[in-house]
Amino acid sequence: MSHSEEKNTSFWLPLFVLVTGAFAAIFNSSTINVAIPKLMTIFGVSSDEIQWVLTGYMLTSAVVIPITGYLGDRFGNKRVFIYSLAIFTLGSVLSSFSWSNNSLIAFRVLQALGGGMIMPISMAIIYRIVPMNMIGLALGVWGMAAVMGPAIGPTLGGYIIDHFNWRLLFLINIPVGILGIILSILTLEETPLRTDTKFDFWGFVTSAAGCFALLLALSQGNKEGWTSFYIVMLFIFSFFTLLLFVLIELNSADPMLDLRLFKNKTFTLSVAIGGLINIGLFGGVFLMPIFTQNLMGLTPYEAGLLLLPASLVIGVMLPISGALFDKFGAKAIGVIGVTIAGLGTLKLHYLSVDTSFHDIIMIMVIRSIGIGLAMMPISTAGMNVVAKHLVGRASSLSNVIRQIFASFGIAILTAVMQNRQIFHYASLSEGVSDASLVAPLTIKQLQGLLGSPDTAIGVLAGLAQKQSLINAIDDSFLICGIFVISAVPLIFFLQDVRKSKTAASKAS
């Protein structure tokens, strides 16, 4: 076997280890979502209090992701990956022993300290161990973890909640975490250390505070009101803090997040396109459970089974799209994939409670083919133009921006859904007013069945409320589809960097 062939085959076992760690972190987040109603009952808390089990994890991840690149450079990517996996596993153990809502939130924050670093640090390791001519395929296989977690998580989580103790949601992470730590020690090689790099303290403080405030505002805006003093002050604080962060980073010789990477057009476009695709992906993850559970009456487990095929399709498509990228580049595959994803999302604009399970599955599968086809080539095209010694920083920067895009997308879609539901309910209510020719006859017929005019009017109001939510979700999918389609023109400006060995030097 030649040296190049040996190098091509030797990275598969380490890649499997990285996939295992990434899967554990993302899988856990998706299983907890379906447990929220159960945890509210167990701990006797309100929805506002229990939401911090999710929000605390998200905000902590946003704080630690920017520092991941520095830690990898300073202490070695292997060491940081092992420690992050160990902290995540420890957080899982402690979460399983939680005795109150506050203790669970605290242990979830600890869990996020490790879980938030796993994805960016594992991507940085992949660029160190995989030959450039196979990077698309490798990132496609690794990217399966990012999709298979949300695919299996709600279904398995719903089954555990229905049939077992909620603590099992955290206990199942422990064997995966321990196995990942052992295999990491045995199979991963340490990356070169940069002992001369300095910790960018003020860059870390301003980025952590700015991202924390921005994501908190986006996650709480719909509940508190977008014009409330609390949310407006969070936005103002995040704007000026992040502005200060930009000024600090651009004037730092050794910045924590190298914003100069945005000088490279391909990297910037890749992050922007990936963010728009993320809005489409997380928009579906957010809106479809509401539709299937609140309107179609499915349990979390049944809803998970309904949406499982589409998520599995993305997982299958990622390594395929990665291999296609290695052969054809990002432009053609990206345009085809994003177009399919956008049109599939727009098709969801016509959903109704009469839509069959078969039609929902088919639309979601077609949409997933497009997302799976486009996601990895777009990301890989951007990372391939980054100098090798900056890959860790670029991975952290890319992950932060995409998390902000995802949070922004969910916030926008939530606002659209709520506002359009009010609009549609007002429109439908006009149809059952005294001026309507049909409404009095309908109320009279319902009164004959139900025996009371108040009951009849209540039934009509309930039907109007349900239909207004259907229309609002349809409108939200329309906005979601527009976000995705808007990424298509940007793809034509991407540089083709499949196997270029000089492209990376342009970013250094």
Claim to verify: residue 108 and residue 177 sit in the same structural domain = yes
How do residues 1-36 score in pLDDT, each as one tens digit? 444 444 445 778 888 888 888 888 777 777 777 777
Contact assessment for residue 477 and residue 283, using Cβ atoms and an 8 Å cutoff:
yes
Angstrom distance (rounded) from CA 325 to CA 383: 13
In-domain check, residue 353: yes
> Structural domain tally of the chain?
4
In-domain check, residue 343: yes
Q: Which of 141-150, 268-277, 440-449, 455-464 bottoms out in mean pLDDT, i.e. has the lowest?
A: 440-449
In-domain check, residue 71: yes
Is 127 or 488 the better-scoring residue by pLDDT?
A: 488
pLDDT at 441: 54
Claim to verify: residue 286 and residue 375 sit in the same structural domain = yes
How do residues 124-151 score in pLDDT, each as one tens digit? 888 788 777 777 777 777 777 766 666 6
pLDDT at 3: 44
**Best mean pLDDT range from 36-40, 134-138, 305-309, 470-474:** 470-474
What's the distance, Cα to Cα, between the start and end of the chain in Å?
A: 34
In-domain check, residue 4: yes
The residue from 234, 251, 268 where one domain ends is: 251
In-domain check, residue 32: yes
CA atoms within 13 A on the CB side of 298: 21
pLDDT at 197 over 60: yes
Claim to verify: residue 117 and residue 247 sit in the same structural domain = no
Residue range 49-68: average pLDDT? 81
In-domain check, residue 417: no
pLDDT at 508 over 80: no
Alpha carbon 447 to its chain's center = 48
Claim to verify: residue 382 and residue 481 sit in the same structural domain = yes
Q: Is 499 helix (H, G, I), strand (E, B) or coil?
A: coil
pLDDT at 39: 81
Domain boundaries, position 451: 422-468
What DSSP letter does each residue of 75-116 carry, written as one string? H-HHHHHHHHHHHHHHHHHHHHT--SHHHHHHHHHHHHHHHH
pLDDT at 505: 42
Q: Residue-wise over 64-86: b if at least 16 C-beta within 10 A, else e?
A: bbbbbbbbbbbbbbbbbbbbbbb
Q: What's the CATH code of the domain at 366?
A: 1.20.1250.20
pLDDT at 437 over 60: no
* Alpha-carbon distance values, 183 to 23, 197, 256, 479 (Å): 15, 29, 29, 44
**Best mean pLDDT range from 31-35, 85-89, 259-263:** 85-89
Claim to verify: residue 47 and residue 97 sit in the same structural domain = yes
- 427 Cβ neighbours under 8 A, 6+ residues apart: 468
pLDDT at 244: 93
Q: Tell me which residue has tokens 């579906």.
A: 284
Prediction pTM value: 0.76
Residue 497 pLDDT level (bands cut at 50, 70, 90)? low
pLDDT at 47 over 90: no
